[in-house]
């Protein structure tokens, strides 16, 4: 009896596996015969200004090769993905085909974090992943700006990522764009700082200065070390000074030194 059950189980398993293999083969055969009847594009903007459109994605896709009315299995998916990634604002591109003949392209628009004006007056963005972006038509509203002694500029060949692990850490630490990126990241996570900071300035010593939205003081921030500590002291000092009516009497407020704030009066 047990032997009969075992044989029945083996036969059932073989039939199920055979059925699955047959189904895969059948689906593969149908897929090869399926023509691409539609190109579906989905762009996630994350409530940001729009710098990439469905038409631009479609144009990039069509430049990579004929798509619609072509056999699905003849479409070069890796080449198509690479073509769309050429758009500087395209991130996390995913290309899939379906058995019903729809080619689906989904991507996320890169989100600008800070706008940089270099020492030659050229402008570009740094996004939330540390990627340099060009300034296209329109503006990204509600962004912190950064300027000063910044030699770097955006070019098509210079679309490097500031968080790339392959980048030399020593050079990165002294790179003003990396300092701007890390500081802007920190500010963007804090509602008080987003409302407080107007501008990031890189001085001749490659140190950070912050220009607030309220008052005309220069906040000497120094480097990007101890950011949490520095901003905690600044916030406490700001609330104390404004309560006593003395915020505007200072010309500079230095956070460079550990466990203290050093101010100079006007």
The predicted pLDDT at position 25 comes to 41
Residue 195 has pLDDT above 80, yes or no: yes
The predicted pLDDT at position 31 comes to 46
* pLDDT confidence tier of residue 30, bands split at 50, 70 and 90: very low
Which position has the token pair 């500031």? Answer: 162
The predicted pLDDT at position 157 comes to 67
The predicted pLDDT at position 2 comes to 52
Q: What is the mean pLDDT of the chain?
A: 83
With 0-12 CB in 10 A as exposed, 13-18 as middle and 19+ as buried, what is 53?
middle
**Tens digits of residue pLDDT in 98-109:** 888 888 999 999
The predicted pLDDT at position 23 comes to 41
More confident residue, 169 or 39: 39
Distance CA 250, CA 61 (A): 57
Predicted structure pTM score? 0.80
Fold classification of 38-109 (topology level) = Ubiquitin-like (UB roll) (3.10.20)
CATH number 3.40.50 given to 112-265: yes
Sheet containing 250-254: give its strands across.
Answer: 132-134, 123-127, 112-117, 144-148, 197-202, 208-212, 218-222, 250-254, 262-265
**Tens digits of residue pLDDT in 69-116:** 778 788 888 999 999 998 999 999 999 888 888 889 999 999 999 999
Q: 156-160, 167-171, 196-200, 246-250: lowest mean pLDDT where?
A: 167-171
Distance CA 254, CA 261 (A): 6
Residue 8 has pLDDT above 80, yes or no: no
∠ Cα 82 57 90 (to 5°): 60
Residue 57 has pLDDT above 80, yes or no: yes
Domain segments of the chain: what residues?
38-109, 112-265
Q: Is 167 helix (H, G, I), strand (E, B) or coil?
A: coil
C-alpha closest to that of 125 among 149, 153, 150: 153
* pLDDT confidence tier of residue 198, bands split at 50, 70 and 90: very high
Which residues, listed in sequence order, are joined to residue 114 by a DSSP beta bridge?
126, 144
Q: Is 123 helix (H, G, I), strand (E, B) or coil?
A: strand
∠ Cα 237 209 193 (to 5°): 50
**Tens digits of residue pLDDT in 101-154:** 888 999 999 999 999 999 999 999 999 999 999 988 765 667 899 999 999 888
More confident residue, 158 or 45: 45
Distance CA 162, CA 119 (A): 19
63-90: b (≥16 Cβ within 10 Å) or e: ebeebeeeebeebeeeebbebbeebbbb
The predicted pLDDT at position 169 comes to 61
Residue 26 has pLDDT above 60, yes or no: no
Within 10 A of 235 (CB to CB), how many other CB atoms are there? 14
Residue 22 has pLDDT above 80, yes or no: no
Residue 42 has pLDDT above 50, yes or no: yes
């Amino acid at each position: 009896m047990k032997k009969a059950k075992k044989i029945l189980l083996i036969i059932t398993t073989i039939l199920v596996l055979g059925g699955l293999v047959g189904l895969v083969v059948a689906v593969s055969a149908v897929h090869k015969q399926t023509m691409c009847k539609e190109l579906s594009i989905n762009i996630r903007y994350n409530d940001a200004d729009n710098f990439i459109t469905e038409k631009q994605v479609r144009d990039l896709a069509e430049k990579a090769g004929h798509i619609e009315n072509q056999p699905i299995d003849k479409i070069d998916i890796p080449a198509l993905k690479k073509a769309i990634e050429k758009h500087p604002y395209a991130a996390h591109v995913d290309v899939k085909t379906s058995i019903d003949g729809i080619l689906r392209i989904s991507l996320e628009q890169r989100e600008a974090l800070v706008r940089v004006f270099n020492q030659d007056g050229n402008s570009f963005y740094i996004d939330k992943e540390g990627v340099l972006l060009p300034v296209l038509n329109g503006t990204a509203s509600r962004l912190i700006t950064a300027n000063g002694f910044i030699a770097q500029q955006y070019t098509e060949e210079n679309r490097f990522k500031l968080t790339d692990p392959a980048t030399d850490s020593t050079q990165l630490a002294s790179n003003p764009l990396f300092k701007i990126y890390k500081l802007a990241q920190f500010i963007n996570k804090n509602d008080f700082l987003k409302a407080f900071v107007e501008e990031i300035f890189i001085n001749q010593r490659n140190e950070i200065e912050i220009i607030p939205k309220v008052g005309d003081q220069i906040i000497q921030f120094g480097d990007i070390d101890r950011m949490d500590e520095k901003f905690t002291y600044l916030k406490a000092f700001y609330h104390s000074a404004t309560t006593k009516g003395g915020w505007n009497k200072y010309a500079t407020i230095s956070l460079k030194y550990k466990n203290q704030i050093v101010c100079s009066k006007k």
